[in-house]
Homo-oligomer: A and B are copies of this chain.
Amino acid sequence: MSSYKNVVLKISSSLKNGAILTDVGSVKKKAIALIEKNIPKNISWISSHPIAGTEESGPESGFAELFKNRWCILTPSKKSKQKDLKLLGKFWKKLGSRVDVMDAKQHDFILSITSHMPHLIAYNIVNTTLKIKKKKDHNIVKYSAGGLRDFTRIAASNPIMWRDIFIQNPENTLKMIDKFIENLKDLRGAIKRKNEKKLEKIFMRTKKIRKEIIEAGQDIGKPDFGRK
């Protein structure tokens, strides 16, 4: 966090009076609190989070449609000017994004559900698989098309970035882990007791959300993501 702060402050010191400065970090509460206190008064500091990207990192992984129809969340700080928030929104819209504004607390909570937790779970299932593979020497990779391969995409994301996200958003992450384990134990019990009705009810419910996501333009509707 201190290197992040140093970079932001170094950039801000070279900016003209009234400039807008933004970042694209995945966790807002700690980052904003740190910068808010230290940034010069003449800089309008507004944090951005474009919910877009792939498992690859770096400028060379960008492409023209990266932000198209994806939501970008803007989180103003005490050092943001209202007119600049509108201007920054316009900037993201020009790149194809849709724009929402919310505070850091709400951002970090929602993202822990839609992004941080899925990544942690993907890392955990791949890690669990690797441990079994090492012990039993099974050729897991050959049979990964049965479901596992989807998780390996997310678990191939930048390890350093994700290490930092979990450490910077621990309250939400730990709570989500506890809820996830509680529900998994509930499923475990239903399987053990052969409770067909309960399993069926849960699996029916989860099917609907995919349709909603596709209708909201946040994924493609082709089976298997259109992989060929």
Listed stretches A11-19, A31-39, A77-85, A159-167; interface member: A159-167
Contact B225 A155 (CB under 8 A): no
Distance in Å: Cβ of A2 to nearest Cβ of chain B: 14
Closest B residue to A160 using CB positions: B200
Distance in Å: Cβ of A108 to nearest Cβ of chain B: 12
Q: Does A202 contact B (CB under 8 A)?
A: yes
Q: Does A6 contact B (CB under 8 A)?
A: no
Which B residues touch A144, using CB under 8 A? Answer: 114, 213, 216, 218-219
Given contacts A181-B181, A216-B141, contact A55 B187 (CB under 8 A): no
Contact B152 A129 (CB under 8 A): no
Could you say how many copies of this chain the assembly holds? 2
Which B residues touch A162, using CB under 8 A? Answer: 199, 203
A44 to B176, CA, bound (A): 51
Distance in Å: Cβ of A4 to nearest Cβ of chain B: 14
Q: A residues near B, CB below 8 A?
A: 51-52, 54-56, 61, 65, 70-71, 73, 100, 109-111, 113-132, 138, 140-157, 159-160, 162-163, 166-167, 170, 173-174, 176-177, 179-181, 183-185, 187-188, 191-192, 194, 196, 199-200, 202-207, 209-213, 216, 218-220, 223-228
